[in-house]
Structure 1
Amino acid sequence: MPADTALTNTETRYGLVARSLHWLVALLIFANVPLGLIASDLPYDTSEALARKAWLFSLHKTIGLTLLALALLRILWALSQPHPVAVHPEKRLETFLAALVHWLLYSALIILPLSGWVEHAALDGFAPILWPFGQGLPFVPKSEALAAIAGAIHWLFTKILLVTVALHVLGALKHALIDRDGILARMTRGTPAGTPGVRGAKTGPALLAALIVIAAGFGAGMLGASRPQAPAASAPASTATATGNWQVQEGKLTFSLAQMGQSVEGSFAGWTADIAFDQATGTGKVTVQIDTASLHLAAVTEQAKAPEFFDVAAFPTATFKADITPAGETFTAAGTLTLRGVEKPVTLPFTLRIDGDTAIMTGETRLDRRDYGMGPSYPDEATVGFPVTVKIALTAKRQP
C-alpha cells in the first residue's frame, strides 16, 4: 500500500487515520474559537438578537464537545501507534519544546471543552447543546461557584490553546520553509522523514513541564473565579420594622420561566414579609417588600436587572399587599403586586401548618411578564416565555 494511503503510523511517517484526525481537529479549532468570540460580543437587546446570540453559543458548545470526542479518539489512536522519530534528535532544546507544545495541545483539547461543559451543566438555561442527550453532566451540581471556576479555567485554557497552536504552526512553517526537512510533509502527505531507530531526547521532562503549566492554569483559574455567585435565597432581609404578630425566620422566594425552551430558576435574596394572622379565624394581612437588586437568574442575571426587564435602577422595590382568607384546608392571599411601577391583582394560594408558635407556609402562583411591561423587545415565547411561576416557602415564629 502506498505510504500516503496507509492507515497506520510507522517510525518515519504518520498514517492516514492520524493525519485525518489532526486536520479535522485543526479545522474545528480554527472555526470554534472565533465563533465563541463572536458570540460573546453580540448584543442581546432584542428577541432576534438574543436568539442569534444563543444559537451561536449553542453551535460553539456543540462543536466544542465534538472536539472533545475527536481529541480523545486522536489520543487513543496515538497511544496505539508508533510515534514517528525525531528528525533532528541532536537538537535537544527544539525536541523538548516540540514535545512540550504537543503535550499542552493535547491537554488543552481535553480541558478546554470539558471545562466549558462543566460550566454549562452547572448553570440553568441559556444556549442549549444541540444534541438529544440532555444538558446536564453526571456528578456536576447546579452551582454558581462551580460554574465560575469552570468558566475561569475555560477562559485560561483558551489562551493556552491559542499560544500552543500558534507555536505549533510557527514550528511547522520553520520546518517547511527554513529547514526543508520534510516534517510538515509527514502530516500533509504521509511522506517519510527521519531515520528509523534514531530517537530524540526523552519526553519525560517535557511532560513534567506541561504538567506544571496545567497545574498553574488550574490554580490561576480557581483564584481568578470572580464571577458573582448566587445570593443566598434562604434568608429574607431584616424584618425589624414589621408590625405583624408573626416574624419570618427563614424562607425562599423563587421564580421560574422558560428561556430558549429551557426552564430557568431565579431568586431574590432580599425581601421582608410583615404578617398579621389570626389563627382562630384563619384571616389576616401580609405585606411583602422585595429588593429587586437582590435578583439572581442563572447566567442572565445582569440582563434580567436591565431596563428591558426588572429595571432595578428605576424600580428598586416590588411590593405585594394582600388579605389572607381560608379556602377549605388551604388559604389564599389575594391582593395586588406592584412591580416596575405597575399594579396588578394577584392571588396566591398557599398551605399553612402551625405547630405551637411555629408556622410553615408554602405557596405558588403564576404571573405573565407582559402584564408588567417586561421584555417588550421579546414579543413571542421563542426566547423568553410569557408565564412566570412564583414560589414562596417560609418559616415564621409567633410574636408575643
Structure 2
Amino acid sequence: MACNSFLPSFCVFLLFLLYGASYTVTEARVIPAMFVFGDSLVDVGNNNYLRYSFAKANFPHNGIDFPTRKPTGRFGNGKNAADLIAVKMGLPTIPPYLSMSSKSNKSITQFLNGVNFASGASKILNDIDPQYPFSIPLEKQVDYYLAVHKDLAQGLGASRAQIYLSKSLYLIITGSNDIYNYFDSLSNSTQQQYVNSIVLIFKEQVKRLYDYGARKFSIVGVGVIGCTPSERNEQADRKCNEDTNRLSLKYNQALVSMLKNLASELRGINYSYFDGYSVMQNFIQKPTAYGFSEVKAACCGLGKLNADAPCLPFATYCTNRSNHLFWDRTHPTEAAHRKLVDYMLYGPLQYTFPLNVKKLVAI
C-alpha cells in the first residue's frame, strides 16, 4: 500500500520519522500511536463483542459523564486511564480491537493511532475456555496485537513499521483479577509461587511485544484492591482486606524485579513503572488532600457501601462523582483516573520509576 493511500497527516508523520525531524503531526501530538493491554480498568468496549461475557458495562449508569453521556463498555462514569493518556499524547480515542476486527471492510488506517485490546475480567493467567470466552486474557490480547502488527508491516513496509512502533507507547494495566483469583480458586501454591508464576507469564508477553516492535512500555502495578468497596463489604468492620493487599504487594515487588531484569536482557527497551498501590493508599489515608470526601463507599450501587450490587440500571448513584474514589464496587471514578494518570505522566521517582511517562515518550 502506497503512502498516498494513507491519511495525509500520517504520511507527513512518516516523513518526519524517517528523516529525523520532529515527529509530531500536530503541535499536540507526542507519539504516533498507543497500544493498550489489560483488564476492566482500561477496557473501552471489547467485552461488548464477547457473546458469553458477563463482564460488560454497556448499560446505565455507566458512561453518565462520558461525552456522549451513554454507556460504551467502559467500567466507570466517564473516561478511563487509556482515554486520558491518549488525550495527553495528542491522540484521538483509541478504539477497541474487536470493534475493528468485526468490520468487513478492514483497512490499515484504522490501526494508525493505536489499538485497545483490554478486556474486563481479563487475567494474566490464561484459563479461559476458548469456545466460551467471557474475557480476553493477556496472551490472547498479544495474539491480536501480532495480527495488527502483520497488517501494519505489510502496509508500511517492515522498516517504517519498526520506526512507527518503536516510537509508540505500550500501556499495560493488569493483574488485579489474578490476585482475586488466588483466593477464589483455593490454589495449592504458596503466595510467592503464585505471583512468580503470573509474573513469568507477564514477562513472556512483554518479550513477545518486544519481538514485534514494542520498545516503550508504561506498566502499572496492582493498586490497593483490598480496599475496594466490594472487598470492604465482605469484612465485618468494613475495613480493607489486608490479605488481598499483602498479595498485591508481593505481586508488585515481583513485577518490579522482573522489569529490572528484562531491561538488562532486551536491547533498546525502556519502561515506566507506576506504583499505583502507594498513590491509591495516599488517596485513602488523606482523601481531602486529593479532593476526595468518600473513599470507602461506591458512588453507584445498592446496599452497604453501595457494594451489595453492581452499578445496574436500577441502582442509585451519587450526584457528585468528582469527590468519590470509587464509581462502583471495584472501579475508580473518572476523577480518580485523572489523578492517577497525572502521577503516571509527571510523577516523581517515588511513584514512577525509573522515569515517568512524559520522559519515557521523549526518549
In the superposition, the TM-score normalised over structure 1's length comes to: 0.27
Return the index of the structure with the highest Cα Rg. 1
Instruction: Give the structure with the higher percent strand.
Output: 1
Question: Greater relative contact order (Cα 8 A, min sep 6): structure 1 or 2?
Answer: 2
